């Protein structure tokens, strides 16, 4: 399990990216998918996930549609056109972040003080 502090800031981007690739999803399915993709290394908590989804809905990045499945309410979240713009930006940011981290972890013992 990757510690929560490391993951914190990227949850929103992860959620948006999944909705982009998988199409409309409900909250529970999002947590399952993240666990599946990361082999259990990233687990979203509902206390983090739902506030993020609600916020994205409020700001117009997502729209919701309720569905009844086996007497359980499922609320599907789908990207709006605005959401598609937002996710594109966020993924770009995340890629730059990943690249920067890699440059740092790939740094080999400095010749600078050899």
Residues forming contacts to a second copy in the complex (CB under 8 A) are 2-10, 13-14, 17-18, 21-23, 34, 37-38, 41-42, 91, 93-98, 100-105, 107-110, 112-113
Please state the closest distance from residue 58 (CB atom) to DNA, in A.
Answer: 11
Q: Which is nearer to DNA, 108 or 110 (CB)?
A: 110
* 10 touches DNA by CB under 7 A: yes
Residues 84-113 that bind DNA (CB under 7 A): none
To 10 degrees, the CA torsion angle through 21, 73, 12, 60? Answer: 90
Q: Which option in DNA, a second copy, none does residue 65 bind, with CB closer than 5 to 8 A by kind?
A: none
Options 16-24, 71-79, 84-92, 93-101: segment touching DNA (CB under 7 A): 71-79
User: Sheet containing 25-26: which strands, arranged edge to edge?
Assistant: 25-26, 72-79, 62-69
d(CA 74, CA 29): 10
Whether 73 contacts 81, CB under 8 Å: no
Q: How much is the CA Rg of the chain, to the nearest whole Å? A: 17
The Cα-based distances of 102 to 95, 99, 107 in angstroms read: 11, 5, 8
The contact set with DNA (CB under 7 A) reads: 4-5, 7-12, 26-29, 32, 44-48, 50-54, 69-75
């Amino acid at each position: 399990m990757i510690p929560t502090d490391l993951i914190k800031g990227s949850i929103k981007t992860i959620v948006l990216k999944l909705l982009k690739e998988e199409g409309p999803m409900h909250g529970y399915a999002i947590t399952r998918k993240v666990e599946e993709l990361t082999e259990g290394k990233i687990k979203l908590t509902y206390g983090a996930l739902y506030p993020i989804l609600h916020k994205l809905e409020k700001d117009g990045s997502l729209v919701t549609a309720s569905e009844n499945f086996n007497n359980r309410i499922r609320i599907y979240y789908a990207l709006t056109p605005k959401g598609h713009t937002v996710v594109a930006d966020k993924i770009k940011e995340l890629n730059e972040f990943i690249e920067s981290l890699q440059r740092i972890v790939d740094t080999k013992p400095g010749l600078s003080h050899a």
